[in-house]
Structure 1
């Protein structure tokens, strides 16, 4: 039996970017894909466009992006779930087929790779992602969540995203499951991610929530606090350099 993928796209007023996202899903050479759009009550024509593409769409108020993620997971019919944000796109037409082949061959529950962060002109700013241990993940969110593909059974067994987090729920989820599931890493760019998402625009909150997630899942409190202040300092220095 062929393994089915569900792509979940959360969106709020994403009319300027969602067309590229949808097109990149439709361009995949893997046949067994369903694409679900979870809309947060957009007012800019997003819903009308999505419906014109013949996609499943729920449009209603939510409590945040992780609420949207969870709604999509509950709706998903696929064996594997990938969350592709409305301002992100697959890097090429074979991304899904490569990932699904890896998951099948290696019998993995979670598969991840690299992403390219790109600016508004589409130029690559940096590559993000790494093959790593849970101890490394406790120190910092080094995984590009838009590259993460997860079997639905993982959500069934270990729970969905915690809505107590606003920007680091993906870090908490990965820490929760990392040592309990089979993980594969693909050393290739899977997704182009536009800069400007929640974690990009709320840096301090992102670091605080990542520290909290690490503490929940066993990090040394002093090490977690030191890491938090180190990351804040690094961000300040980078901001200063960019201003100069």
Structure 2
């Protein structure tokens, strides 16, 4: 059986409310070849005490100040030794206990595995599937109309990864995925839910900055004119989506 080593990386700072759900979703996986790395930004709210309860199941735990989420994620990436890496940050969850087992049973030795994401609220209640459904076949060109695969729902061969670009404070994950996907030879859709995503993160709170960064990243990969045109299509699709759902709710 194909059983590669998976490095799961969680970054957290002062999130005592959600961190245990995330940790449990990792340590309760039926798949055993997992290296679990947790990077804590020197939390002061009880988060670290919860993490220490799982010290026997966390491979590497670092608690120290950092320069932001992507600096913390780069620390985790530098410590990773797995064949594949997955970022499952505080508040998000691996979908079910058998998720990782099922993913690697789908196909052997792919460069990237990906699946669908379920959104959840602060109470852990389902809000349904993301508006951007994962494409049937994913390539690096597929982000031109928006990020249609969640960061939590993509498993990337570690040898294809590079550090997150600190120039992007909110959207470096898009750049990181695109950079790896452009190198990938084999990308597999596992056709199942693989992650739960807690809505309302920093990119929502600083929406304008997030949009500016996303435009810059898209311009870098797709060119200026195509990016302008594609953003017009994104705006139209978003407007149509809300109009349709508003009618449904009415």
Aligned pair partner of 2:92 in 85, 88, 93: 88
Distance 1:210 1:82 in 2: 21
Contact 1:146–1:193 (CA under 8 A) maintained in structure 2? yes
Q: What is the CA deviation profile of residues 18-40 of structure 1, one whole-angstrom value per residue up to 9, with x for unaligned ones?
A: 11111111211011112111011
2:176 corresponds in structure 1 to 173
Q: What is the CA deviation profile of residues 190-218 of structure 1, one whole-angstrom value per residue up to 9, with x for unaligned ones?
A: 1111111122322222222111111111x
Alpha carbons of 1:226 and 1:41: their partners in 2 closer, same or farther (altered >3 Å)? farther
Distance 2:235 2:226 in 1: 14
Contact 1:106–1:184 (CA under 8 A) maintained in structure 2? no
Query: Normalization by structure 2: what TM-score?
Result: 0.85
2:149 corresponds in structure 1 to 143
Aligned CA-pair RMSD? 2.3
Unpaired stretches in structure 1, ≥5 consecutive residues: none
Matched length: 234
Q: Secondary structure at the match of 1:214?
A: helix
Matches within 5 A, 1:1-244: 2-54=3-55, 55=58, 56-102=60-106, 105-128=107-130, 129-131=133-135, 132-155=138-161, 159-181=162-184, 182-217=186-221, 219-228=222-231, 231=234, 234=238
Unpaired stretches in structure 2, ≥5 consecutive residues: none
Distance 1:112 1:97 in 2: 13
Q: What is the CA deviation profile of residues 39-81 of structure 1, one whole-angstrom value per residue up to 9, with x for unaligned ones?
A: 1121101112212211321111212211111111111122211
Deviation at 1:126, TM superposition (A): 3.3
Query: Normalization by structure 1: what TM-score?
Result: 0.86
Question: More displaced, 202-211 or 163-172?
Answer: 202-211
Q: Secondary structure at the match of 1:115?
A: strand
